[in-house]
Amino acid sequence: MGTTMFTRPRMLKMCLSGSLGAVLLLPGLAPGAAASPPVLPFRDPSLQLSVRVDDLMGRLTLDEKIGFLHQYQPAIPRLGIAGFKAGTEALHGVAWSNDINNGGSVVTATATVFPQAVGLASTWDPALITQVGSAVGDEARGLHSQNPAVWGLNLWAPVVNLLRDPRWGRNEEGYSEDPALTSAIATAYGQGMEGNDPTYLKAAPTLKHFLAYNNEITRDVTSSNVPARVLHEYDEQAFRSTIEQDAATGVMASYNLLNGRPMTVSPLNNEIRSWTDKTLFNVSDAWAPYNLTGSEKYSDPVRL
């Protein structure tokens, strides 16, 4: 499950076919008969974005707003809003990504398979990684045009968790143990996926997994107990530098606990917004909110 809580204006200009972003951009139905209904304010591109968002929010029911919190956002026919999927895996290309279509069969992608992340970082070549990211963005666009219900343009990559201990379970997904190299490669990959258009994103990279995360077994109940200095001078640095260089549109919270508190409800998810003047959005990892009342049994009414 991916829970989108915030989007920045640039992401809303992605021209996502069938997405909330597309709804805000489209000027309305094509001119037709004189009896055509008036253009709703949220579809009017001449209005300020904040005005259009406020208008749309005022038209949605509570159930519809809750529906938008899911990775698979349902269509709202009465407002002309098509369904939208957030979150397409793109760690080293979109070839791995697959989904279940409406007929119940598995849909897979034919796309370029690039080296694993640790292999990409071994090039020590940000310019090359930018080209890789650009190719991934191109292929994501092509797949999205074929089936937007399966392949969204919100790409869940790059992974910028640091590889501090070789015994950890997911080191093939990260770039290195060094924050500077990790951020340089992640920034190049993210900027490549975004493209260089000043207004429109080719794709929207989402950094993961925030924060101090790398294990696979019992990941939902494991607490990464990290001293403040290690947290701020090491674990956060790869994320911070990448965000500061405008190479990400959002961040995914990790499954694990950090110093005893689930990252799903960590205040750090809000604090990272001070690292940029852009608006970032947050998503959860798959089903992670259910862990709060399930495996984690977490309840802290004062801090929540």
Strand partners, 184: none
Tokens of 14: 């992605």
Minimal CA–CA distance to 137: which of 197, 90, 184? 90
Looking only at the bridges linking them, the beta strands covering 154-156 and 204-210 are: parallel
Tokens of 215: 């294990």
Amino acid at 31: P
125, 220, 277, 285: the active-site residue: 285
**Backbone torsions φ then ψ of 146, nearest 5 degrees:** -80, -40
Known catalytic residue at 285: yes
Asked if residue 291 lies in contact with residue 1, where contact means CB atoms within 8 angstroms, the answer is: no
Catalytic residues: 285
